[in-house]
Amino acid sequence: MKKKIILSLLVLALAFAAGNAFAQGKGTLNFGLSGNPDTLDPHKTSGTLTFQVLKSFYDTLIEPDPKGNLVPALAESWTASADSKTWTFKLRKGVVFHNGQPFTSKDVKATFERIKAKETASAKASEFSLIAGIATPDDYTVVFTLSSPYTPLLASLASGWGAILPSGLIASGHNFASEPVGTGPFKFEKWVRDNKITMTRNDNYWMKGLPKLQAVEFDIIPERAVQVQGLLSGAIEAVEFVDPEDLPLFQGNPKVTIKKELSSLIMVMGINNSRAPLDDLRVRQAISYAIDKQTVLDVAYGGGQVGHTFMDTGNAYYSDFPYYPYNPEKAKQLLKEAGVGNKEITIAVPQNYELHVKAAELYQQMLEKVGMNVKLQLVDWSTWLSSVYSGGNYDLTVISHTGKLDPDGTLAGYGGGKYVKWMNAPVLEKIKKAVTISDFAERKKLYTEVLDTMAKELPHFYLGTSYRYGATRSNVVDFRMTPNIDTFDFRWTELR
């Protein structure tokens, strides 16, 4: 691994000097990306990193503004019927897809029919399952008819998985997975796996004067040390975050700007509730008692707020349930009662997220101190998505879940399995009921009951919400992260 990092640093330095690997020019931003997307098709992924990239290629009907409020995008306005079952959207005129096709209501209809189609196998299809009909009275009006009220609809439409695709390419079976075509601020140029993704300015973008950059190049660099060296040398001009351990390297450096903020991430250790001995609640309780949450947050993630259930701590729907505080002796007692013995438990960790690897190492140490036999398994990101998250082939796994624009985006499906294989019918029904309620207080009451049960039964081990230390070169102006869903927004970004 050490040789690999040294070699990567050498390659980075040579490439920068030659001006080959990192595109130069006043209008090109070089962004250090920690891994490959699993696809470039917005309807066939649930990966955070993937949506972070896709934000630049596609638009949605509505979108969150910098404060998280939902505002017009491809739809200029919308209205709902009194029973909240009919939603009418008036579309923006003059919008053109990257392939030259004009944007109309036909594209909206084709997009959501594609998402809902079984053959698409969209991970987010359930969020649109209540759409019973889509009418297009004219080229710039779309009417969604719902089978029952669904309060999170607007949030789903504003999320990356609601990206609008051109109907002509949908009909022809275009391969969006390798060649994205949308109405977004940047057009796809090329994707060299494990190397780079290049996109160039959409000169016909509907937001006049945007984007301000001529191009963005995602340099795929899993190694933290190479990202750091790139920032210091100027070969990379921005990264999503830097490891807190590396912050001293940037102190006093006027050419690098560090921005600290509370993220909307839910930091967890996912637990496979279908595997013994983790199917025993006592063992899951022991795991929670064994881990010093604040220490893990501070050492692995550079600080944050401790949490005790499955919601980001800054969320309006969050409630705190500290049922299993740090108590190693209690953990030992429960493990003895459950008869865990020396059974080997494996923590699967995506190796491209070094902060998660560091957290996993701390978890391993703390769990071993209470008598558990724990091993670490480092996997690449694509393997984590396919085998761990989708395939359920794991015991424990360290990951973070991004916040969502609506709590249903976080909680939908829990109690019915999900990747933690946790079954709880009452919880599943409460989550389903909550989406039909528009009153905030009434919805929060139901979600509080759900989060209370999740805190007690521990389908995950909950760590909390971390701080994020974003980093850019000081000549980078107005790089934005979309509130709650943490996607990259380069529309206003400039190089000065």
pLDDT of residue 67: 84
pLDDT of residue 485: 84
Encode pLDDT of 126-158 as tens digits. 899 999 999 999 999 999 999 999 999 999 999
Burial 316-341 (b: 16+ CB within 10 A, else e): ebbeebeebebbbebbbebbeebebe
Which among 69, 92, 240, 190 is positioned nearest to 231, based on CA atoms? 240
Phi-psi region of 181 (alpha: psi -120 to 50; beta: other; left: phi over 0): beta
Residues 6 or more apart whose CB falls under 8 angstroms from that of 77 comprise 89, 90
214 CB neighbour count, 10 Å cutoff: 16
Distance CA 7, CA 403 (A): 36
Distance CA 47, CA 38 (A): 7
pLDDT of residue 13: 46
pTM above 0.85, yes or no: no
Encode pLDDT of 358-384 as tens digits. 999 999 999 999 999 999 999 998 899
Structural contact between residues 322 and 307, judged by C-beta atoms closer than 8 angstroms: no
pLDDT of residue 435: 92
Distance CA 16, CA 219 (A): 12
Residues of the chain with pLDDT under 70: 1-26
pLDDT of residue 26: 52
